[in-house]
Amino acid sequence: MAKSTEKRKAPAHGRAKRPLVIDAHAHFNDPVVAKFIREKSGRTGGGFVTSGGISKKFADAQLKHIKYVGERHRNVDLRLKELDQMGIDMQVITSSPSAGCYWADGKTGLEMAARNNDTVAEMVAKYPDRFIGVGTVPMQDVARAVKELRRCVLDLKLRGVIIGSIIEGIELGERKHWKFWAELEKLDVPVIIHPDGFTHPERLLKFNMWNSVAQPLEEALAMSSFIYEGVMDAFPKIKILICHGGGYLPFYAGRADITYLDRPASRGKARKKPSDYMSQFYYDTVFYNPDMLEFLVKKVGHDKIMMGTDYPHFMKTWDAVAFVTKAAGLSKAAKADILHKNAAKLFKIAL
């Protein structure tokens, strides 16, 4: 697709003398879709986290969090006020990957994803100087997913899609999904991989570990599937943004490499060792450890990393902008790339 030349106005408020900031990881959901998922899927939130086997205290806390998040999906004035307070000029808002309702049939998944995509597109149309939109698709039905991808990009003018890390037991790299990857590469838009919980919650419900421990593992598994199933070699121009800094794999690639080198039978379709693919992916900064940011820059290059907040989650306890601006060992140019230039390039935002 031709690069967008649409000019974006500077925000009317909230712009002090500081670097431009684009938030590449934020959520915005249609409340009707969210309600449908809670009522029909049996999941209380966090994707695979179900209402069974959890304490009342945990369930109450989850519902309280859903209410907090839901208010920021509905109240745009509140969102804009908080973005200004955080020093964020533009935000990439995404449908939740759960909006595709992978647990449902393809027709239902398409209906829910399309509704959510329309809501995101309407938000962007109202506030084009503040928001860039990303849709989602029903990956359980590849034909419908391809069709909705085209509608998102060509009709709604969204800048990509977000999907989960596994589709009801089917890994992302498996051949069933290759028509989707081919279309994504053809349209030249990114896909964001964001886990929707974890597939085996029985050990992880306690202490909220489905989020703190398991989601980074889901990301590592998704990246591994792309690598070993041959997607990264078959579609070399594909643009894949892995949330939460890529999960565990970029920081533990040595173990994957030694297995690849020592046990050739384990290589699958990968033409090179796993760490050699790390710079083909894109990453956000939602991993909270300052020392890991400098490591990831050395591992994949500062041109593949972009600032993210995970808004409206964790915003009370984490300053995502300062995470980058105060990072030790990074040049001023590297910080500018991470704060806005990389996201502008990936999502075709003309500044």
pLDDT of residue 234: 98
Rounded distance, CA 180 to CA 176, Å?
Answer: 9
Question: Is 90 exceeded by the pLDDT of residue 59?
Answer: no
Pure H helices in 104-213:
106-126, 142-150, 178-187, 209-212
Query: What residues pair up with 283 in beta bridges, in sequence order?
Result: 242, 305
Question: Is 70 exceeded by the pLDDT of residue 198?
Answer: yes
Q: How confident is the model at residue 143 (pLDDT cuts 50, 70, 90)?
A: very high
Question: Is 50 exceeded by the pLDDT of residue 22?
Answer: yes
CA 335 to chain centre: 21
Q: Give the DSSP letter string of 298-351.
A: HHH-GGGEE----BTSSTTT--HHHHHHT-TT--HHHHHIIIIIHHHHHTT-B-
CATH class, 22-346 region = alpha beta
Mean predicted confidence (pLDDT) in 61-89: 83
pLDDT of residue 75: 86
Q: Give percent of the chain with pLDDT exceeding 90.
A: 70
Mean predicted confidence (pLDDT) in 164-174: 95
Mean predicted confidence (pLDDT) in 112-124: 95
Question: Is 50 exceeded by the pLDDT of residue 200?
Answer: yes
Nearest to 88 by CA among 45, 132, 44: 132
The structure tokens listed for 330 are: 């990074």
Q: How confident is the model at residue 202 (pLDDT cuts 50, 70, 90)?
A: confident
Rounded distance, CA 34 to CA 70, Å?
Answer: 9
Question: Is 70 exceeded by the pLDDT of residue 14?
Answer: no
pLDDT of residue 210: 76
Rounded distance, CA 119 to CA 336, Å?
Answer: 31
- Name the residue ranges covered by the structural domains of the chain: 22-346
Rounded distance, CA 341 to CA 143, Å?
Answer: 34
Rounded distance, CA 113 to CA 262, Å?
Answer: 43
Bond prior to 11 in cis (omega within 30° of 0): no
Question: Is 70 exceeded by the pLDDT of residue 239?
Answer: yes
Mean predicted confidence (pLDDT) in 91-104: 90
Degrees, nearest 5: CA angle 146-147-151: 115
pLDDT, one tens digit per residue, over 297-334 is 999 999 999 999 999 887 777 899 999 999 999 999 99
Identity (one letter) of the amino acid at 99? A
Q: Give percent of the chain with pLDDT exceeding 70.
A: 88
Angle between helices 31-41 and 106-126 (to 10 degrees): 150
Question: Is 70 exceeded by the pLDDT of residue 254?
Answer: yes
Question: Is 60 exceeded by the pLDDT of residue 50?
Answer: no
Average pLDDT, the chain: 88
The structure tokens listed for 273 are: 């060792």
pLDDT of residue 10: 42
